[in-house]
Structure 1
Amino acid sequence: MKIAGIIGGSGFIGSYNVKKFLEEGYKVKVSTTDLSKKDKYNHLNQLPNSENLVIFELDVENKPQLENFLEGCSIVVHGGTPFQLDVKDPKTELFDPTIKGTENFLELVQKTSGLEKVVFIASVAACNTSFPLLPPHKSEGDQISEEDPPFMSEEGHPYAQAKFIANQTVEKFIMDHPNLDFEITTVSPVGVMGKALSKREDSTSMGLQFLFKNKIAPNPFIQMFFDNDIYFAIVDVEDVAVCVYKAATTNGIHGKNYLISSESYKVSDINLMLNNKEPEGKPIIVYRNDLARKELGINFNPAKVPLNRFSE
C-alpha cells in the first residue's frame, strides 16, 4: 500500500484530498499543528477506509518533524497554508509558515527516498495577487490562462503575496534542480466553494460563502465585492480534490502549474444560488481551465453545484 502524505489535510480542501486518496486505496498521513486539538481532525476518522489514516503533529518550520512526516511517502501533497482574510501579524501568521515552510519542505524532499510525486496546492494568487479583481493589464471580458505572465501587487492581500512568493520559490527550485528523482506539479484553484466535511468554524471558504449568502460585509474588502458586484471565479472543492489526485498520479507533468477554475458569476448571482434561486445573469469564463481538462482529464462542475451543496 503506497503512502500519501497530505500537509494541511484537516482543512476545507485538505479533507477532500484525504477522502480521495483513502478511496483510491492509499495509506494517508495527515499533518495537524496540534494533536491535542482533536476537534480539528476527528472528522477524518469518520471517512471510509479511515483505518488507513495516520495523524501526525507537524509544524512545517520544524525540520525534524517534517523529515519524520515525509519518511515512507511516495506522494506528498503540500496544502498547509490556510487562507486567512484577517491577519494581525502577516510575517508570523503568513509569510514565515508559507515561504519558510516551503523552503524547508523543498530542502527535505530531496532526501526522501522512494518519493515519486510532489503536488503543491498554490492559489490563483500565484498568477494574480489582485484576485478576485483583474490584474491592471486586463479588462472585463478578458481571460487569464497559464500562459499569462504572473502579476503581483504589493497592495495585494498578505495571503496572496505569500502564496505568490512561495510559488516563485517552487519554480526557482525546479529550475535549479533539473535532475530530480521525483516530479513536482502545482495546482492553483480560484475561489473554492462547497460544503465542508467537518464542522470546523475556521474555514475561510465556508465563511466567505456565508457572507455571500447573507450579504454581510465585515470589512471594506468584502464590501467592495457587493458595491461593485464583481465577477468571482468559482471551483468546486470536490473538483479540486480530483485535480490534486490526478496531478499526483499522472506522469510527465513535472513543472506544470494548472489553473483550477470553473465559471465566474457576479456576486449578486452567487447570493441567489446560495439561497437556492436561479441566477439572473449568465456565467463567464475569466480563468481558463483548458490545460487541466486536457492533461488531467477533469470535467469541472458548474458553479451552481457547490453553491447549492453549501446551501443545503
Structure 2
Amino acid sequence: MKKVGIIGGSGFIGSYNTKKFLDEGFKVKVSTTDILKKDKYQHLLTFKNSENLEIVQLDVQNKQELVDFLQDCEIVIHGGTPFQLDVKDLRTELFDPTIKGTENFLEAVLKTSGIEKVVFIASVAAYNTNFPLLPDGKTEGEQVTETDVPFMSEQGHPYAQAKFIANQTVNKFIADNPNLSFEITSVSPVGVMGKSLSDRQDSTSTGIQYLFQNKIAPNPFIQMLYDMDVLWALVDVEDVAEGIYKAATTKNIHGKNYLLTSESYRVSDISLLLNNQSPLGKSKVVYSNDLAKKDLGLNFRPADVPLNSYSS
C-alpha cells in the first residue's frame, strides 16, 4: 500500500484529494497548520478507509518539519498555499507561505529518498495573472492554452502574482535539476466550484460561490466582476481531484502543467445557476482542456454540474 502525503489536504480541494486517494486504497498523510484545531480536519475522519489516514502538524516555512513530513511518502501533493482575496499583510499571509513555502518544499524533496512523484496544485494564474479577465493580447473568442506564453501583470491580484511566481520557481527547479529521481507535474485549475465536504467557513472557493449566489460584493474586486459581468472559467472540484490523482499516478509527464477547466459563464449566469435557474447566455470554452483530456484521460463535467451541486 503506497503512501501519499497531501500538504493542504483538509481544505476545499484538499478534502476531495484526501477522499480520492483513500478511496483508491492509499495510505494518506495530511498536513494541518495546527493539530489542536480539530474543526479544520475532523471531517476527514468520516471518510471511507479513514483508518489509513494520518494527520500531522506542518508549517511549510519550517524546513525540518517539511523533511519529517515527506519521510515514507512515495507521492507528495503540494496544495498548501493559501487562496486568499482579502489580505492585510501580503508578505506574511500570502507571499511567504506561497513562494518561500514552495522553495522550502523543493529543498526538502531533494533531501528525501523514496519519492516517486510530486504534484503541485498551481493555479490558472500560472498562465494568466489577469484571471478571470483575459490575458493582454487575447480577445473574446480566443482560447488560452498551455502552449501560450504565460501572462504576468503587476496589476493582477496579489494572490495571482504569488501563484505565478511559485510556478516559475518550480519550473526553474526542474531546469536546474535535469537528473531528478522523481517526476514533478503541476495542475492549474480555473475557478473551482462545487459542494464543500466540510462545514469549514474559511474556504475562498466556497465563499465566492456564496457571494455569487446572493449577489454580494464585499470588496472592489468582486464588485468589478458584477459590473463587467465577467466571463468566468469554471471546473468541478471533483474533476480537479480526479486530475490530481491522474497526474500523481501517470508516468512520463514530468515538467508538464495541465489546465483543469470546463466551460465559462458570465457571472450573471453563474448567479442564476447557483439559484437553480437557467442561464440566459450560453457557455463558452475560454481555457483549453485538450492536454488534460489527452494525457490524463479526463472528462470534464459541464459547468452547471458543480454549481447545482453547491446549491443542492
Do both proteins adopt the same fold according to a TM-score greater than 0.5, normalized to the shorter chain? yes
Uncovered stretches (5+) of structure 1, i.e. residues with no partner: none
Work out whether 1:56 is the aligned partner of 2:56: yes
Work out whether 1:126 is the aligned partner of 2:111: no
How far apart, CA to CA, are the structure 1 residues paired with 2:105 and 2:57?
15
Work out whether 1:237 is the aligned partner of 2:237: yes
Superposition pairs for residues 77-116 of structure 1, below 5 Å? 77-116=77-116
Aligned length: 312
Which residue in the other structure is 2:139 paired with? Answer: 139
How far apart, CA to CA, are the structure 1 residues paired with 2:57 and 2:299?
35
Counterpart amino acid of residue 86 in structure 2: D
Which residue in the other structure is 2:156 paired with? Answer: 156
How far apart, CA to CA, are the structure 2 residues paired with 1:160 and 1:230?
17
Q: Is the 2:82–2:98 Cα contact (8 Å) retained in structure 1?
A: no
How far the C-alpha of 1:261 sits from its partner, in A, is 0.3
Uncovered stretches (5+) of structure 2, i.e. residues with no partner: none
How far the C-alpha of 1:82 sits from its partner, in A, is 2.1
How far the C-alpha of 1:156 sits from its partner, in A, is 1.0
How far apart, CA to CA, are the structure 2 residues paired with 1:135 and 1:269?
22
How far apart, CA to CA, are the structure 2 residues paired with 1:169 and 1:83?
18
3-state secondary structure, aligned to 1:4: strand
How far the C-alpha of 1:308 sits from its partner, in A, is 0.2
How far the C-alpha of 1:168 sits from its partner, in A, is 0.1
3-state secondary structure, aligned to 1:92: helix
Counterpart amino acid of residue 138 in structure 1: K
3-state secondary structure, aligned to 1:234: strand
Q: Is the 2:144–2:287 Cα contact (8 Å) retained in structure 1?
A: yes
How far apart, CA to CA, are the structure 1 residues paired with 2:268 and 2:293?
28
How far apart, CA to CA, are the structure 2 residues paired with 1:87 and 1:152?
20
Q: Is the 2:235–2:263 Cα contact (8 Å) retained in structure 1?
A: yes
How far apart, CA to CA, are the structure 2 residues paired with 1:78 and 1:225?
29
Which residue in the other structure is 1:287 paired with? Answer: 287
3-state secondary structure, aligned to 2:283: coil
Counterpart amino acid of residue 164 in structure 1: F
How far the C-alpha of 1:220 sits from its partner, in A, is 1.1
Which residue in the other structure is 2:175 paired with? Answer: 175
Counterpart amino acid of residue 59 in structure 2: D
Counterpart amino acid of residue 291 in structure 1: L
Superposed CA deviations along residues 104-159 of structure 1, whole A, max 9, x for unmatched, are 11111112111100000000000100100011111111110000000111111111
Structure 1 length normalisation: TM-score? 0.99
Which residue in the other structure is 1:277 paired with? Answer: 277
Identity fraction in percent: 73
